[in-house]
Amino acid sequence: MKANEVLNHHHLKRTSCREGIIDVVMSSDEALSEAEIRDRLQGCYDRTTFYRSFKTLEENKIIHKIIVDNNLVKYAFDSSALSSLGHAHFHCVECNSVRCLNTVALEKASLPQDYEYAQAEILIRGTCNKCKKQHSKP
């Protein structure tokens, strides 16, 4: 899917800033921070335009937020192939990279009576393949 198709699919107006943000998050296999997305964006947008476009995409669940801790918040493209229960994320404790794990199945938790389920967030911490490779180098 291309950025303009994503916007059409969500019945959103096409703007170059929105399309640019989608292109950036879609082409990255790692989740990106707001600053990283802004840095990679082709074309110049003022703060307000960028912020508004960003919020629109987040509200429409085109991109989703991954909160690792207070200092580390990343965003990734929300693939519609992902289960409605949500999906797990992987945080590399060495390089601080974050990515979506579409292969980890989440099960709906059984909650105490009269509790309502909204969403689950699972964060797996460890070492990513790139960092592991670094270790095995002589």
- Give the interface with Zn ion as residue ranges (CB under 5 A): 76, 92, 94-95, 100, 128, 131
CA 37/CA 24 separation, integer angstroms? 6
Query: Shortest approach of Zn ion to residue 69 CB, angstroms?
Result: 16
Q: Which of 50, 80, 74 is nearest to 123 (CA)?
A: 74
Closer residue to Zn ion, CB minimum distance, 37 or 92: 92
Least separation in angstroms between CB 2 and Zn ion: 20
Element (H, E) at 74: strand 72-77
Residue number, 45 or 64, with CB nearest to Zn ion: 64
Q: How far is the CB of 97 from Zn ion (least distance, A)?
A: 5
User: What order of strands is seen across the sheet that includes strand 98-101?
Assistant: 98-101, 88-92, 122-126
Which CB sits closer to Zn ion, 5 or 94? Answer: 94
Cβ closer to Zn ion: 37 or 45?
Answer: 37
Kindly state the greatest CA–CA separation across the chain.
57
Which are the contacts of 74, defined by CB distance < 8 A and separation ≥ 6?
30, 31, 32, 33, 65, 66, 68, 98
What minimum distance in Å lies between the beta carbon of 51 and Zn ion? 21
